[in-house]
Structures are given as C-alpha cells and as structure tokens.
Amino acid sequence: GGLTMEKNTEDVLEETKGKIIFVNSFQGGAGKTTLSLSYCISALFDALPWKNREKYTNVIYMDLDILGTGTSYLFDDKYTKEKKYFNLTKNAVKIPLHLKDGVRKEFLYAAFLEPGLKNSSSYGEPHFINHQNIAQTTLKENVLSFIKQKFSEVPETLLVLDCAPGFSDFEQEILLECYKMVKKDVLGVQEDYVTTLDHAHIHKCVQCLEDSVNGFKKLSSERTMNIIINDVQNYDGWLKDKTKDADEEWNRIKEDVLGQLKKADAKIWRWRYSENVAMSSVYLNGEKVENHPEDYLFTGEKFKEI
C-alpha cells in the first residue's frame, strides 16, 4: 500500500517553534554533508541565511546514511567511537565548537550511524544482510522517536538530517512522518536538494523532484523545497565573456531550471563552496570540522537565493 498523509493529532507537536531540514542529493559528492554542517554551525553562531527568527536553543546534526556514516572522519575519534553511535544508543553526542577568535563556544549535538550497519541485523549481529529491512524499520522508529522527544523537550530546536544520496524509501517515510508533526508557525520542515552546476546533475535533480511530486500528492501545498546549486568551481571566474554580468548569468540559469520544473514548486539558491573547506578536505590534508568551524559560516555572498 502507498504512504498516506492523514494527520493524526497525536503526532502534532503543539508548542514547538523549531525546524527540520532534510538535505539530500540525487548524486554523491554534491556537497550535502558540507551544506548540512554549514546549516548547523551557522545556526550556532547566528549566521543563518534567513533572519526572521530567534536563535535556536538546540542544534542537532543527524547522519541518515544507512550504508555507513560518511562523517566520522570529520570529527575527533572520541566523538565517533562505536559505543556512541546513534543506532546503538538512540542519543546524540555533544560536541564543543570554538571559533578562532577564541571567544565564542557553542555545542553541536551530532548523531552518527555505525559504519557497519549495512551488514547488521536488527539484533546487532553482523553479516545478516537479509535482515536489512528489519534493521531499517527499527532505525526509522528510533529516529522518529528521537525527533519527537527532542522537539518536545526543547521546542526551539534546529534538526538537520544529512540523507544518503537518492532519496530512499527509508528517508521518504521519515520525511512524511515529519510533515505529520508540522503545525503552522510552530514547527517547519524544509527540503534541500543539492546539485552541482553540471548539466546532467541538474537535469537529474529536476527530474527526480518532479517524480517525487506524484508520491507526495497530499503534500503538494505544504512542501518547502529548495534546489541548492553548489558553485564548487566558481562559475563567475569561468565566464569567458567578461562583459557579461555574473548575476544575469545566474538568473538565466535559474529561469532555465524553473522552466524545467512543471509540478515541483522550489526556490533556487546559489551556494559558493568555501575554498578553505575544499582545501581542508584534500587527501592527506584532511582536517577535522571542529578545528575550523568558522569556514562553515554562511555569508551573503556564499549563500543566497537567486
């Protein structure tokens, strides 16, 4: 049977004033983990790209890639030890972050999945791949229970869900359940789909979003969707005709993408990838996120709607 979206009043969180952001892509390597962490760190240090609300009390980053976390290498080993993984503890790890000015200190709560989850059954034994569906169901229930608990405890929470590429059934089910918890002006859900400027990548992103509308028909008027174009190569610098205005070129890109969207209603954002983040990610030059959180802060030039 298909997924339905009739609202259950028991699922609606009455007093919350928070936000859930799903960050996904339809191709690996688009930058969704970096974007997810940028949302979190910018929220902690009051640098979010929107300014129409108060600072969040709690900020939680959650890795939802059931094929194994891709973020464990971004944080110190003491935060990613097996005994602290979300699928074993149902809890997030508290990570202190300091800006280089040495003055500001904030705490990020991060939930990591154990990298071997893809080879585990719901009973924690390895090599039972045939039990993967059971493991996913258990994980989904734990994730949803965690989300409801955190927003009930601290309504002013920002929760960023870093999804696996491809918008799996597992993540779609979590997204649908989160929309059930939405209440106007109380708790919001936002979907971000990251793509590079590669023509095929953008086309694939648009096509997948269009297809998703059919499966989310009852959400057509409720969904808040963004297409985030990762300008990882600095498109402005690639313009051969220097007489052209870069903003006009980006507007042309936006109009073309919007022209491809027939059913999905989405906003288009330009995200200028940080050179410092790129350099710190180079092989043999890998640097932990907590050692340079200031590079993940949004600025008007680095992230803006077009």
Q: What span, in angstroms and rounded, lies between the C-alpha atoms of 299 and 172?
A: 31
User: What pLDDT is attached to residue 6?
Assistant: 45
**pTM of the full predicted structure?**
0.88
User: What pLDDT is attached to residue 7?
Assistant: 45
pLDDT in tens, the chain (306 residues): 334 444 444 454 444 489 999 999 998 889 999 999 999 999 999 888 876 666 799 999 999 887 767 787 889 989 988 889 998 899 999 999 999 876 788 999 999 987 766 555 545 555 554 556 667 788 899 999 999 999 999 999 999 999 988 888 888 899 999 988 887 677 899 999 999 999 999 999 999 998 888 777 666 667 889 999 999 888 877 776 666 778 888 999 999 999 999 888 899 999 998 888 988 888 888 889 999 999 999 987 889 998
User: What pLDDT is attached to residue 158?
Assistant: 96
Q: Which two tokens stand for residue 100?
A: 């280089």
- SS3 sequence, the chain? CCCCCCCCHHHCCCCCCEEEEEEEECCCCCCHHHHHHHHHHHHHCCCCCCCCCCCCCEEEEEECCCCCCCCHHHCCHHHCCHHHCHHHHCCCEEEEEECCCCCCEEEEEEECCCHHHHHECCCCCECCHHHHHHHHHHHHHHHHHHHHHHHHHCCCEEEEEECCCCCCHHHHHHHHHHHHCCECCCEEEEEEEEEECCHHHHHHHHHHHHHHHHHCHHHCCCCCEEEEEECCCCHHHHCCCCCCCHHHHHHHHHHHHHHHCCCCCEEEEEECCCHHHHHHCCCCCCCCHHHCHHHHCCCCCCEEEC
